[in-house]
């Protein structure tokens, strides 16, 4: 089994599909936009695999799934999505099993945690608050915190800078946005197998794949 070959000082987590199963609420918001432009609703299972590249891409994929994007101004539709989602941020969203246990174990070992998500930061913060874990993270950065976002490695390296430096860092995520950012930043990545990825886990070339967040402390050198 893979064990991170250095003393881990800091861990950066992706949010949607990694720490939080937010797809049901993102699904409602996506359908809200689609029905507002006369499109049909799409099933949760379809939306689940559209998450990870930010809200605009989610709207784009929803439109593509229901007849195409021609003639639509995605920027103009974004407020329809964000306003609805802001008011319905944590209706069905839940922490994944093992999240609290893992955060406790990391804290006990003095390892710092942060969140690096493509969700806008003004939505990521209250979602973490609503789930009772905001105070567990020394930093939270979103898709709009910098002029770049995952898979751009600078989203990860700037998050690490807020944590005190890039040394001893590991990234945990669920899609290629996370593993690609980590690889380009020279940071080992751990992929969760239950997330929102649409393709094959093996294609992402992560350093380790876990079925539960609770498995993570076990693959960090004690
Ligand atoms: O797609 C999003 O809005 C955010 O996704 P992430 O938390 O997986 O980066
Ligand atoms: Mg994700």
207 known ligand binder = no
List the catalytic residues: 14
Do 109 and 137 fall into the same domain? yes
Same domain, 42 and 105: no
Residues 98 and 162 in one domain: yes
Same domain, 30 and 119: no
Tens digit of each residue's pLDDT (9 = 90 or more) over 150-183: 999 999 999 999 999 999 999 999 999 999 999 9
- Does any domain span residue 5? no
Instruction: Tell me the ligand closest to 119's alpha carbon.
Output: 1
**Ligand 1 touching residue 182 (CB < 6 A):** no
Q: Clarify whether residues 17 and 37 are in a common domain.
A: no
Q: Which ligand is nearest to the CA of 29?
A: 1
| Domain assignment present for 1 | no
Q: 71-85: per-residue pLDDT in tens?
A: 999 999 999 999 999
Q: Which domain holds residue 144?
A: 10-21+93-219
Same domain, yes or no: 179 and 201: yes
pLDDT at 222 over 80: no
Residue 41 near residue 34 (C-beta atoms within 8 A): yes
Evaluate whether residue 152 is within a structural domain.
yes
Looking from the CA of 23 toward its CB, the CA atoms found within 13 Å total 20
The CATH code of the domain that includes 193 is: 3.40.50.1000
The whole-number average pLDDT for the span 100-128 is 97
Beta-strand (E) ranges in 106-168?
Answer: 112-116, 139-141
Q: Quick check: is 59 in a domain? A: yes
Q: What is the CATH number of the domain that holds 32?
A: 1.10.150.240
Backbone angles phi, psi at 103, to 5 degrees: -60, -40
Residue 4 lies in a domain: no
- Mean pLDDT over 86-93 rounds to 98
- As for how many domains the chain has, the answer is 2
Question: What's the pLDDT score for residue 4?
Answer: 87
Q: Residue 205: pLDDT band by 50, 70, 90 thresholds?
A: confident
- 31 CA distance to ligand 1 middle (Å): 17
CB distance 160 to 13 below 8 Å: no
Residues 131 and 81 in one domain: no
Is the pLDDT at 36 greater than 90? The verdict is yes
- In degrees and rounded to multiples of 5, residue 67 shows phi and psi of 135, -10
Q: Is residue 157 part of a domain?
A: yes
Structure tokens belonging to residue 213: 């967040």
Same structural domain for residues 57 and 124? no
Q: Does one domain contain both 125 and 43? A: no
Q: In terms of domains, do 28 and 118 share one?
A: no
């Amino acid at each position: 089994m893979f064990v991170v070959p250095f003393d881990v000082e800091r861990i950066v987590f992706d949010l949607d599909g990694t720490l939080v199963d937010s797809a049901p609420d993102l699904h409602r918001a996506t359908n809200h936009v689609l029905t507002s432009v006369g499109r049909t609703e799409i099933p949760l299972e379809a939306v689940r695999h559209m998450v990870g590249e930010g809200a605009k891409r989610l709207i784009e994929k929803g439109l593509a799934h229901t007849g195409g994007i021609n003639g639509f101004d995605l920027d103009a539709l974004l407020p329809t999505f964000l306003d609805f989602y802001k008011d319905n941020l944590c209706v069905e969203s839940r922490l994944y099993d093992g999240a609290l246990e893992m955060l406790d174990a990391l804290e006990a070992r003095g390892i710092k945690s942060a969140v690096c998500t493509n969700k806008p930061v003004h939505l990521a913060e209250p979602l973490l608050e609503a789930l009772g874990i905001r105070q567990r993270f020394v930093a939270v950065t979103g898709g709009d915190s910098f002029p770049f976002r995952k898979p751009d490695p600078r989203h990860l390296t700037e998050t690490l800078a807020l944590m005190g430096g890039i040394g001893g860092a590991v990234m945990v995520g669920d899609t290629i946005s996370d593993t690609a950012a980590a690889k380009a930043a020279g940071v080992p990545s751990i992929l969760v197998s239950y997330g929102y990825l649409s393709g094959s886990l093996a294609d992402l070339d992560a350093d380790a794949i876990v079925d539960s967040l609770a498995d993570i402390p076990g693959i960090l050198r004690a």
